[in-house]
Amino acid sequence: MVTYNLALILKNPLNEAEFLLVKQNPPPKFGVEEYDTFVDSDLWDLPSTKLDLEDGELESGAIVIEGLEKTDLGKFDVESAINKVLEQVGFKVSDGGEWRFLKLVEEAEFGPGLPVHKVYIVGRLLPGNQNLPELCKWMSVQSCLSWLVDVKKSSERVGPMVVLGLINDSAQSSEKVNATLHYQEYPPGVIIVPMKSRTAKPFHTTNLVIFAPKSVKNESEDYNFVAHGDALIVDPGCRADFHEELLKIVAALSKKLVVFVTHHHGDHVDGLSVIQKCNPNATLIAHENTMRRIRKDDWSLGHISVSGGEDICIGGQRLNIIFAPGHTDGHMALLHVETHSLIVGDHCVGQGSALLDIASGGNMADYFHSTYKFIELAPHILIPMHGRVNLWPKHMLCGYLKNRRSRELSILEAIENGAKTLFDIVANVYSGTDRSLWPHAASNVRLHVDHLSQQNMLPKQCKITVFLKDLSTRFRTAVREGSLQATITVVLCLSLVLSVVILTMFVNNNVKRYLVSEDYSYSPQSATFTLPSSRSPCSYFLCSSFLSPPSLQPLRFPITSLRDWLTPKELCHSMNDKELLWRASMVPHIDEYPYNRTPKVAFMFLTRGSLPLAPLWEMFFKGHEGLYSIYLHRPPGFTNKHPESPVFDERQIPSKPAEWGRATMIDAERRLLANALLDFSNERFVLLSETCIPVFNFSTIYNYLTNSNQSFLGSFDDPRHTGRGRYNKKMRPAVTLSDWRKGSQWFEVHRKVAIEMISDVKYHPVFRDHCRPPCYMDEHYFPTLATKILPEMNSNRSITWVDWSGGGSHPRRFVRKDVSEAFLNQIRNGFKCTYNGGITSGQAQNQNLSTTLTKLFNAQLQLINVLSFFFLFGCGLATGVILSSYLSNISFSLHVSQFSFSTTTPSPALIKLPPRVGLKEYLKVPAVKHDMDEKELLWRASMTPNIREFPFDRVPKIAFMFLTKGPVLMAPLWEKFFKGHDGLYSIYVHSSPSYNESDPESPVFHGRRIPSKDVLWGNANMIEAERRLLANALLDIANQRFVLLSESCIPIFNFSTVYTYLMNSTENHVESYVLEGPVGNGRYSPRMRPGIQIKQWRKGSQWFEIDRALAIEVVSDRKYFPLFQKHCTGQCYADEHYLPTFVTMKHAKRNSNRTLTWVDWSRGGPHPAKFLRTEVTTEFLERIRSGSDCVYNGNHTNTCFLFARKFWPNALDRLLRFAPKIMHFNK
């Protein structure tokens, strides 16, 4: 169903190019001076009216419309509509001449109402009828365009009907959009495509806004644009079944594409992954708070963080970025300056008002401030991301202010009438609203109460803390008090008449059906994942069984490929806790993985012994190999007498005793996390106990966790004696009372959070020393830590359901009679919560899309025995006694037989255990001859430990990196230099791949050639070679300083002097300076903007010396180096500009801006002087060594160079002769 409007194009009888426009009636005023003072400028558009269906039979009328008979519009009373329009503008039918059907413009499905299609009829007034009423005027297409383009805040405006009917066809200001969907271009150049998305009702689409100017203008030099492009897309948030449509749109746009995201919600970013696959050169722009919440699967390419006030240039048109928090703390808006159109994201919507996301920093005070900011901008048009364009921006924004303030008055009235809690306020203010919507309303009410409190408007007797209590129980009770109570009553009544036999069958069958059956599988928002090739978990983590004798499969720890390093070969290592945590804290600076990585969920079981529910978990994991890892932490002396499920076989990690409530419990949890972090495929980490069960199948849980942008770690402020009452003042100042939190021990966290949890060396000792019973560390340490370090990444809730309603220090334990369909449904579907920024409910999205249900089957075995005894009583007392005894001795054997699996354990005598892997094996220096490709090498080299303190005695080394064409010409001199200093240096040689090592090498250079590629002087591939050298050197954790040298370089001081100079230096040594002229700034390409500006351009020597931190930054650079590869070509020599520019931009304060390698440029030309044998004298060497003045660690010195170049090979004999005397190589 759609509705139709008639738009009449009345031509001026005296000027064919002009047509009639009518001044549009603004919305009614509010009757409040504060709002009515904000008035939108005049809006002019074609006269129009609604088209009604013809009543009865169609009759031939006085008006004949040419071309209408060829359409399907004959059922409408067009003649009456034309009469109505003519009367509006002061004319009669007799004043008109010819009438002609022009076009039908179908409106896109903006929602929530029906689309409104527009029928355009052209008419010409008879001569002598050009006198117009006051509210009408004659306009041409050209004059309308000037209004649309040359805008000022108060200038008159042109409406959408004339633009869609006349101007777009003639102006054609934008490239055609390759879309089968209906879209709207208003104002000209601003294309809006509503696409189906995961948005909230009443809307079902998100507006994709596109700027694609057809004619590119010259860029203005008055603005420092953060990004340039030929096309812009705003908020690609369509759902998965529309990704193909989005792909067509993106593919048709320019490759120089800019993507702008107003905020992180799924209905605004779900299409990002399509764009990055289709156009990897696209640039994403968003607020930093938004970028932190966008999943890497959606966008892993480079981005530009903005904070408001910046400008973007698209085809020469300027768009101004506006920081507009309120809906979220990273919400942005975008002003198209040429048309003065304001894209407002979710600050406003086409109908109703937007919900503020309290979980993502939504704030009512910020919302008011942003609204006033928009009003001051006085935009001509508001473009929301849901619903139609709004033509009266100031009126709409004032309406939002009025509505919000009216809501706050209602809240104050509710408080004055006795409301004492947030629940009371919602029940009062929203009494006429469906109770299922109350939790959504509570979020906004909470923000209103905060806002009132900030303005000191709450009554004096009211305290804000009273309204911030956790009242979820009362909300759930209110929502469910009707239907749920009736359901429970029916279930209980039926339960009374069930026999023991039927109850037993019912429980067993339904537990399996609800927890395992694929009929209940769920893929949230079309999330997909790819199963890897089938592979046994034992081949990944092998500890005590081999496919062939150990002697035939020795452990080879030197790394020859990336895969050797990614996943530990076994869990049985010999690292102590300090070594393990340090090793597990390794983080790559390059975010993108260089291999096809299928993320896994690590299931970590903290148990006191056996796993009685192993058969259930076996069914849960079945068929999902490669998507999970399992880790068991048991008491060290535990030996399992009964075979467990194969998935748990050999998954026990080295453990220590853990005591409930003590620091040792946290140590065990960190130990589990650290072992799981050693596998780089593990992305999510779940802590479980032996009494936990899953309440959804594996696919549902996997999708829920891997698609979540937050962790699930319960954390709340408990003012009671069991919360704040446990705080110890001795924890100050590291942990204050305001930091103190309480929460569930059972958590699920993202890899980034897991690394922070095991890397903490600041707060863990404070808890260990001062949180002792009755302070239980497992209830306070992680909740407090999450609040301190990564609050934005935590949902502040657990996804492990427990029942504390019974009171006491432990949650309720459930026995067999407690398990029913209603009980399981209540856990699965009976809660509401926030997931990825939205309020969720139901099976697909709810708080207990939990991975576990604690204590469900604990202590149920006795009940099973009793029920089984009665069930088998008719078969004879003897059989019942025997079976009861059997079940008492073998835990859960009934389930084992039903699930039909068995394990065979080899005889211990046949198993030969491999040596336990220790930290030394992980730290062994990789073989220089590895088979990692460039991407793998750089990623591996970018690793840094999050724990800064090394858990071993580490002697720092200098990495000497030689970039050569062939052999190291001065090798004998370097041999003398290095002699006697083994263990303090490493050597790496990058020579041409064609070099066959025909010349005999010095022993120190033997076997030190790294895998290399061809290098051209001045080309970007020379920088690639330098990064390759750095990456190989970084693989050795002991290398701390890195020197780049050539085959013609020599040391001019002995090793001890060089080592002390570099190790004690507080700076890097990269020559960097500004040089005007053609060989300096003249080599800069404007195409490097906005990444690199001309003011940041530097020149310097290729030969550098840097520390480990900067070396990691260089190999990890994926933002600036590609610009040099692409734009520093021809007469621009990348080796002279890349590193000087990069260091100036990123590490200028820690750079000395000088090189340690002396060269002579006094002879001119593109290359420095090269010294013959006769030029090498003692005076010459002394002048290089001490003939300069520079600053070292803040003090002036004449030791400015440690190396020199270029020397001919025939100078070697003299250098060897002078080395002991001048350079003191004998010391």
Tens-digit pLDDT profile for residues 191-206: 999 999 999 888 899 9
Q: Quote the CA–CA distance of 447 and 407 in Å, as a whole number.
A: 11
Helices and strands, counts by H and E, the chain: 39, 41
pLDDT over 70 percentage in the chain: 80
Residue 546's pLDDT band, with cuts at 50, 70 and 90, is: very low
Tokens standing for residue 1143: 């260091």
Contact 602, 747 (CB under 8 A): no
* Nearest CA among 372, 383, 362 for reference residue 265: 362
Residue of higher predicted confidence among 897 and 433: 433
Which pLDDT does position 155 carry in this prediction?
A: 86
Tokens standing for residue 639: 């030996």
Hey, is 867 helix, strand or coil?
A: helix
Burial class (CB in 10 A: 0-12, 13-18, 19+), 473: exposed
Residues 6 or more apart whose CB falls under 8 angstroms from that of 1100 comprise 1070, 1071, 1072, 1073, 1136, 1137, 1139, 1140, 1153, 1155
Residue 420 clears pLDDT 60, i.e. is over it: yes
Residue 32 clears pLDDT 80, i.e. is over it: yes
Our CA angle for 488, 492, 497, nearest 5°, is 150
Note the pTM of the prediction, 2 decimals: 0.54
Q: Where does residue 498 fall: left (phi above 0), alpha (psi -120 to 50 degrees), or beta otherwise?
A: beta
Kindly state the DSSP code that residue 1066 receives in the 8-state scheme: S
CB atoms within 10 A of CB 453: 16
Domain 3-166 sits in CATH at 3.90.79.10
Alpha helices in 911-953 (DSSP H): 919-923, 934-941
Tokens standing for residue 1139: 């590193």
Residue 552's pLDDT band, with cuts at 50, 70 and 90, is: very low
Tokens standing for residue 20: 């009639």
Give the sheet arrangement for strand 682-688, strand by strand: 628-633, 600-606, 682-688, 748-750
Residue 1022's pLDDT band, with cuts at 50, 70 and 90, is: very high
Highest mean pLDDT among 46-60, 258-272, 354-368, 488-502: 258-272
Q: Quote the CA–CA distance of 271 and 279 in Å, as a whole number.
A: 12
What average pLDDT does this structure show over 1041-1057? 94
Q: Quote the CA–CA distance of 5 and 10 in Å, as a whole number.
A: 16
Contact 1010, 989 (CB under 8 A): yes
Q: Quote the CA–CA distance of 586 and 951 in Å, as a whole number.
A: 13
Q: Quote the CA–CA distance of 368 and 445 in Å, as a whole number.
A: 15
Residue of higher predicted confidence among 60 and 536: 60
Residue 530 clears pLDDT 50, i.e. is over it: no
Three-state SS across 1147-1209? HHHHECCCCCEECCCCCCCCCCCCECHHHCCHHHHHHHHHCCCEEECCEEECCCCCEECCECH
User: Which amino acid does the sequence have at 433?
Assistant: T
Pick the range with the lowest mean pLDDT from 473-477, 808-812, 969-973, 1005-1009. Answer: 473-477
CATH class of 173-401: alpha beta
| Interhelix angle 663-677/577-584, nearest 10 degrees | 50
Three-state SS across 292-328? CCCCCCCCCCCEEEECCCCEEEECCEEEEEEECCCCC
Q: Quote the CA–CA distance of 901 and 903 in Å, as a whole number.
A: 7
Q: Quote the CA–CA distance of 125 and 850 in Å, as a whole number.
A: 71
What average pLDDT does this structure show over 260-269? 95
pLDDT digits (tens, 9 = 90+) for 979-1001: 999 999 999 999 988 776 655 56
pLDDT digits (tens, 9 = 90+) for 1169-1180: 889 888 888 899
Residue 74 clears pLDDT 90, i.e. is over it: no
pLDDT digits (tens, 9 = 90+) for 107-135: 998 888 889 999 999 988 777 666 778 88
Hey, is 1042 helix, strand or coil?
A: strand
Tokens standing for residue 1008: 């030190």
Residue 325 clears pLDDT 70, i.e. is over it: yes
Tokens standing for residue 864: 């099973």
Q: Quote the CA–CA distance of 659 and 608 in Å, as a whole number.
A: 10
Residue 538's pLDDT band, with cuts at 50, 70 and 90, is: very low
Beta-strand runs (E) in 723-851? 748-750, 800-801, 833-835, 838-840
Q: Quote the CA–CA distance of 887 and 647 in Å, as a whole number.
A: 23
Residue 962 clears pLDDT 60, i.e. is over it: yes
Q: Where does residue 500 fall: left (phi above 0), alpha (psi -120 to 50 degrees), or beta otherwise?
A: alpha
Q: Which residue's structure tokens are 């990944």? A: 540
Which pLDDT does position 630 carry in this prediction?
A: 95
pLDDT digits (tens, 9 = 90+) for 774-825: 899 999 999 999 999 888 899 999 999 998 887 777 888 888 888 888 888 8
Dmax of the chain from CA atoms? 118
Tell me the domain boundaries of the chain: 3-166, 173-401, 417-481, 863-891, 925-1222
The number of angstroms, rounded, from the C-alpha of 723 to the middle of its chain's C-alpha atoms is: 33
Residue 895 clears pLDDT 80, i.e. is over it: no
Residue 839's pLDDT band, with cuts at 50, 70 and 90, is: low
Residues 6 or more apart whose CB falls under 8 angstroms from that of 57 comprise none
Residue 765's pLDDT band, with cuts at 50, 70 and 90, is: very high
Residue 561 clears pLDDT 90, i.e. is over it: no
* Radius of gyration over every alpha carbon of the chain, rounded to an integer in angstroms: 37
Q: Which residue's structure tokens are 């856990």? A: 827
Hey, is 173 helix, strand or coil?
A: coil
What average pLDDT does this structure show over 930-950? 88
Highest mean pLDDT among 326-330, 465-469, 590-594, 906-910: 326-330
